[in-house]
Amino acid sequence: MSREGLKPLIGIVGPCGAGKSTLVEGLHRKGYSSRAIAQEHSFVKDMWQRMSHPDLLIFLQCSCAVGAERRNMKWTESEWKEQQRRLIHAREHADFFLDTDSLTIGVVLDQVLQFLKQRGY
């Protein structure tokens, strides 16, 4: 669904603490149009499509423990599992999936940029 004459919109989804906002900042610095989509908080399974209409969807994953540490939050395993449930549709439709648990911010950005380059962006 490319918008002719415009840069593609890259949607970023994933659980809390996976690095969505940080990746969006890095992509913006590199000249890409991107948006963090809070799908993990929505009961509407395809909100990511309805609200943002991204041309590409990137799914960042992190474990419950890592997400809680990054966000300095005390959440339960059941709360994390509920976020995962809410993300199923987005995960199934993602163009690129990346587990960020053991990756630095720079490595996440580099891997996403490499994917975008492979896709011709």
pLDDT in tens, 49-104: 877 899 999 999 999 999 888 888 887 889 889 999 999 999 999 999 999 999 99
Q: Kindly tell me the burial class for residue 3, based on how many C-beta atoms sit within 10 Å of its own C-beta (0-12, 13-18, 19 or more).
A: exposed
Question: Is residue 75 within 8 Å of 62, Cβ to Cβ?
Answer: no
Res 2: pLDDT: 45
Res 5: pLDDT: 53
Res 6: pLDDT: 62
What residues does each domain of the chain span?
9-118
Res 109: pLDDT: 98
pLDDT in tens, 1-50: 444 556 889 999 999 899 999 999 999 999 999 999 988 877 778 777 87
What is the distance between the alpha carbons of residues 64 and 53, in angstroms, rounded to a whole number?
28
CATH superfamily of domain region 9-118:
P-loop containing nucleotide triphosphate hydrolases (3.40.50.300)
